[in-house]
Structure 1
Amino acid sequence: MSSMLVCDICTQEVPSEDDMKSHLLLAHMEENSCCPFCTVVGLTYDELTYHINTAHSDSLELEPWNNDEEQPQEFQKAAPSSPEYIDRSPAAVGSKQHIEHILPEQISPVSLEKNSTKQNNLVECIQIDDTTESLNSSPVASNTEYLPLPVTPLDSDVCNASFDSDSLRESGCQASASAQHTDFDVDTVMECPFCCETTISIEELEFHVKMEHADLVDTPTKETSRQRFECPICSLVCPNCRILQEHVNLHLEENVRNEASADGFSKDSILARQLQAEEDKHRREEEAQKEKLEFQKLQRKFGLDNSGGFRQQSMQNLERAVVRGRLQPMEFHLQKAQMMESIATGVDDGRTTTSGVLEALRHYYSNAAPEVSRVWLCSPVDHFSNSAGDKGWGCGFRNCQMLLSSILKSSSYRNSLQGCRYIPCIPKLQSMIENAWREGFDPQGASHFNGKLQGTKAWIGACEIYCMLTSLHIKCQILDFHKPSSSSGTHPLLFDWVLNYYSFDVCHSPGKVVCSSKPAIYLQHQGHSRTIVGIEERKNKSYCLLIFDPGHPPEIVQRLTRHNLDNSALKILRKHFSSLKHKQYQIVAVEGALSPEEKAVRLQKSKVFRAERIP
């Protein structure tokens, strides 16, 4: 009967040493093993060997053989000079089989390096107790005391081969009856597999492991083993301390990289914030500069840039005309003297005034204009055009002069205008508006102009006209047509209001031409102002406003004073529905004279200006 070898780990029987090596390599080296004495699982072969030697040293003695068989003899390894051989010498050991796990006596530098990379793997040597007869009959060891075996790379990791006693007994091998354990003197340095501390003997190594690493050599269960190697950072359970250490080192390296990247990110963030702050500052400066330029443009547009007023602009235009040859020096001095006289007296010089337009219109409508069924005209009024001294900003003042000329020619207002017998010039009108502000009219408007108009080119509107007329005891009102009253964007309600205004006291007057006693109406819209002097009703029931525009030069307006007017000459006066398409219009209409008490009431109401809104 051939001898069989038994695996110490799984007790599987194999017929030869080569089969045993293959079995150990395939079944126990490449896969995780489990302890045959306890429930520990998931260990490599080296870890299992160390675990059995430390945790189950008392259980290494096997059960006695059956009574009908001889007790096997124990072979003890003797250390030859060459580490390439494993020698087995017989020794008597009583009636039980003993398996001892010992360390080699001498370790070569090559094996030391291998031990450092494989955590000091232990070499297990098995002593076999058998009879002398079986030894003598063995073909391998019949004439020698030792059983030398060549050590292959596989043998360097695992060299524990189990010899079956039955096989030896059947081959007739006889061994000595006595067996003994041979103590080995270890003169090499032993290294702890846990902390790499070195010792000079096995006893010191065992004592060190039991004292310093007792928690690692205790027999753990499957659950406690996993909990013991739990990562303190991410709670990952590792199979052993070595893998846990490598895992924690990865965490530490990652933290270092994160700190470095965070430091770089912090610097980048600071730089980005600095660049953003500089960009915001530059943008704010550009916006402030742009806003400043826009404000300066508005100041120049509305005459609030302190570039001079009517007098300065008149002088500049006269000098420019002389330089360009359009004006002789003698004429220059003459016009300059007239201008200075007009400013000094406060009376307009009349150089841009055109009179007699309404008389010519009355004659025209009476004898011609067959397309007109009826026309309503205001009280007599003069036309005032812009001059070189107020061109671009003086339309409000020129319309104010037209309105005053209409009021002064009416006997109903002579008592109210005791201090204004003549048409004032533009600087005088500016002074009259400033006086109204000083009386307390329209404080908000006064603050807008800083309480000053003289010496500026500031534009004026309906509020300033209202304040000046009210301060002169003239009863008037402001009406605000704040939005179009038709779907086409026109203002038919404005036309209806003007018609009612001029036809209120002459509704039963016969004739085609109706001359009302009402003064002209001041008309204001965005960027310009004009004066309404009448309204005509056509035979197709449409209406057309008659408007004086200060932008028309005196030469063109004087054509309307001729008695032989034609229909084409009235184009500069007629404004149909489609001609008034601004979004908003305001008008100032004179209603009569004011008593001192009524003036005081209107003064209080002007603290907060409220116009009548239509619609």
Structure 2
Amino acid sequence: MISSCPICGNQVLTAELERHANSHFEDDEVQRDMELAQLAAVTELSTSVMDVPEPSTRPFPNGDSVSQGASSSIIRGSSPYGNALDEQISCLVGAQIRSEIQQIQGGVMNLLRSCLESEGGSSTSIISGYVDHHQSLSSEDKGWGCGWRNIQMLSSHLLRQRPETRQVLFGGCGFVPDIPSLQRWLEIAWDKGFDTVGASHFDNKIYGVKKWIGTSECVTILRSFGLRARIVDFDSTESSDLQSKSGKRVCGPMDKYLIKTNSFPTSSSGELSQEDAESMRGQQVLVDWVWNYFKSKCSDTLNNSRNVTISDKTPLYFQHHGHSRTIVGIQKQKGNRGSQDRYNLLVLDPGHRTADLERSLTIKKGWQKLVKRGVHTLRKPQYQLCYVDPGIANSEEMAELKTIDSILIRF
């Protein structure tokens, strides 16, 4: 049901009315009211073309087109989802709240680039462009919200780096919403028919629920806006009941099919045991994939730096049992005297405090422990990565994107 806010007059979901009204009395009420007013203007503009009889298409800079019915500007009468769902979407566009983050002076990726450059030597690093760090908060999502925080980090990159994405993501609002707003967007995606398997796992209800989510939910949200989000599965187990004959499998929340195993043992001498060595050879497949992923589309080396390159690829949502993080790059260190090259994943962890990350990167001390993850740390039997290909899907492709599948890689 829809109700009018007694403070600003905006139309909001009845279930969110109290929370929305209370938000006007917070310290940043002036800024938030201005944002809501701007969003209301955008929503009014988008609904002013209600008389268009059929879905139209509009070009984007990359040459693709997007169905107007699949975009965030809902046109009543041309949307395939029905008036009730259209009303929910229009309401959410105006009522969603910006996720609050601690701003890092200079940007976290610029600080990371500076730290990597200062190492010099024989190392080579490839990193994503702009990314904001979103930390889990004890008052909001500590212990269960890492998946939502990684969606926020990935979204911060998409909104800044890809103009076509900015026009459709989260109703074209131009900012990263908070977790409750993201939960509403996921429910809307389910109502549109995206990821029916995952939706049934949550009984089609996620708003206000403190449950872990994974790559499937990230992909579902992004695909519902027409983004070409993909999942890659890395699996060391012998078999999987959910694997299909085509080599792909439908993904629900990861804990539905993950096989839990103990950590690989290490020898008391500090050297790698045989099991450890075999594990590292297996996990190297994942690291090699990440290196090739970021390397496949790189911009010119930034500021004539010899050892840091900026990739045009999106960061990677990095999921394993119990936690998820965001991979923002990878570093390769040349081995000495013919020894094998060593790789470090470069990650932003929502479990870390933004202030600690900023401090360590600024003074170039202790940042390695927060950001770098070597192959030897990858001890889980299964991992999932999520990334976003360029462009916006047309209406025909949108129908295909509703089924969430993954590419399966054995190691």
| Short-chain TM bin | 0.5 to 0.7
| 2:384 is the counterpart of 1:589 | no
Aligned counterpart for 1:487 among listed residues 274, 278, 293: 278
The question of whether the paired residues in 2 share the 8 Å contact of 1:531 and 1:547 is answered with: yes
Q: Secondary structure at the match of 1:517?
A: coil
For structure 2, the residue ranges without an aligned partner over 5 or more in a row are 1-14, 37-91, 238-275, 336-340
Partners of 1:460 and 1:353 in 2: how far apart? 26
Superposition TM-score, scaled by structure 2 size: 0.62
Partners of 1:382 and 1:536 in 2: how far apart? 20
Q: Secondary structure at the match of 1:348?
A: coil
Aligned counterpart for 2:185 among listed residues 432, 436, 456: 432
The question of whether the paired residues in 1 share the 8 Å contact of 2:120 and 2:307 is answered with: no
Q: Which residue of 1 aligns with 2:175?
A: 422
Aligned counterpart for 2:359 among listed residues 545, 559, 575: 559
Partners of 1:487 and 1:383 in 2: how far apart? 34
Aligned counterpart for 2:150 among listed residues 399, 405, 409: 399
**Cα distance per residue 1:46-65 (max 9 Å; x no partner):** xxxxxxxxxxxxxxxxxxxx
Aligned pairs (5 A) from 1:83-94: none
Partners of 1:612 and 1:560 in 2: how far apart? 37
Aligned counterpart for 2:343 among listed residues 543, 546, 549: 543
Change in 2 beyond 3 A, CA 1:455/1:415: closer
Superposition TM-score, scaled by structure 1 size: 0.42
Change in 2 beyond 3 A, CA 1:590/1:374: same
Partners of 1:595 and 1:334 in 2: how far apart? 39
Q: Which residue of 1 aligns with 2:126?
A: 376
The question of whether the paired residues in 2 share the 8 Å contact of 1:371 and 1:539 is answered with: no
Partners of 2:354 and 2:115 in 1: how far apart? 20
Q: Secondary structure at the match of 2:191?
A: helix
**Cα distance per residue 1:89-117 (max 9 Å; x no partner):** xxxxxxxxxxxxxxxxxxxxxxxxxxxxx
How far is 1:555 from its partner?
2.2
How far is 1:460 from its partner?
1.1
Q: Secondary structure at the match of 1:591?
A: strand
Partners of 2:299 and 2:29 in 1: how far apart? 49
What percent of counterpart residues are identical? 33
Partners of 2:190 and 2:110 in 1: how far apart? 37
Q: Which protein has greater RCO, CA pairs closer than 8 Å, 6+ apart?
A: 2
Q: Secondary structure at the match of 2:278?
A: coil
Partners of 1:520 and 1:565 in 2: how far apart? 22
How far is 1:361 from its partner?
1.6
The 10-residue stretch of structure 1 (540-549 or 370-379) with the greater mean CA deviation from structure 2: 370-379
How far is 1:414 from its partner?
3.0
Q: Secondary structure at the match of 1:496?
A: helix
Paired AA for residue 425 in structure 1: D
Paired AA for residue 498 in structure 1: V
How far is 1:376 from its partner?
0.2
Larger Rg: 1
Change in 2 beyond 3 A, CA 1:451/1:407: same
Size of the aligned set, in residue pairs, is 282
Q: Which residue of 2 aligns with 1:30?
A: none
Partners of 1:335 and 1:451 in 2: how far apart? 34
The question of whether the paired residues in 1 share the 8 Å contact of 2:223 and 2:398 is answered with: no
| 2:408 is the counterpart of 1:610 | no
How far is 1:520 from its partner?
0.9
Change in 2 beyond 3 A, CA 1:349/1:597: closer
Paired AA for residue 397 in structure 2: K
Aligned counterpart for 2:160 among listed residues 391, 401, 409: 409
How far is 1:347 from its partner?
2.5
How far is 1:591 from its partner?
1.1
Partners of 1:506 and 1:553 in 2: how far apart? 30
How far is 1:373 from its partner?
1.9
Q: Secondary structure at the match of 2:326?
A: strand
Change in 2 beyond 3 A, CA 1:581/1:507: farther
Q: Which residue of 1 aligns with 2:116?
A: 365
Moved over 6 A (4+): 335-338, 340-344
The 10-residue stretch of structure 1 (489-498 or 352-361) with the greater mean CA deviation from structure 2: 352-361
Paired AA for residue 290 in structure 2: V
For structure 1, the residue ranges without an aligned partner over 5 or more in a row are 1-307, 316-332
How far is 1:517 from its partner?
1.6
The question of whether the paired residues in 2 share the 8 Å contact of 1:479 and 1:613 is answered with: yes
How far is 1:569 from its partner?
2.2
Q: Secondary structure at the match of 2:100?
A: coil
How far is 1:397 from its partner?
0.6
Q: Which residue of 1 aligns with 2:397?
A: 599
The 10-residue stretch of structure 1 (374-383 or 553-562) with the greater mean CA deviation from structure 2: 553-562
Partners of 2:226 and 2:102 in 1: how far apart? 27
Q: Secondary structure at the match of 1:614?
A: strand
How far is 1:597 from its partner?
3.3
Q: Which residue of 2 aligns with 1:523?
A: 318
Partners of 1:458 and 1:593 in 2: how far apart? 31
How far is 1:348 from its partner?
2.7
Change in 2 beyond 3 A, CA 1:480/1:505: same
How far is 1:336 from its partner?
10
Partners of 1:602 and 1:394 in 2: how far apart? 29
How far is 1:391 from its partner?
1.2
Paired AA for residue 386 in structure 2: V
**Cα distance per residue 1:551-571 (max 9 Å; x no partner):** 001221221452x413x3221
How far is 1:420 from its partner?
3.8
How far is 1:371 from its partner?
4.2
Aligned pairs (5 A) from 1:184-333: none
Partners of 2:99 and 2:214 in 1: how far apart? 23
**Cα distance per residue 1:282-318 (max 9 Å; x no partner):** xxxxxxxxxxxxxxxxxxxxxxxxxx99x99xx9xxx
The question of whether the paired residues in 1 share the 8 Å contact of 2:300 and 2:310 is answered with: no
How far is 1:335 from its partner?
6.4
RMSD: 3.1
How far is 1:480 from its partner?
0.4
Aligned pairs (5 A) from 1:438-477: 438-477=191-230
Paired AA for residue 428 in structure 1: S
Partners of 2:393 and 2:236 in 1: how far apart? 34
Paired AA for residue 597 in structure 1: S
Paired AA for residue 382 in structure 1: D
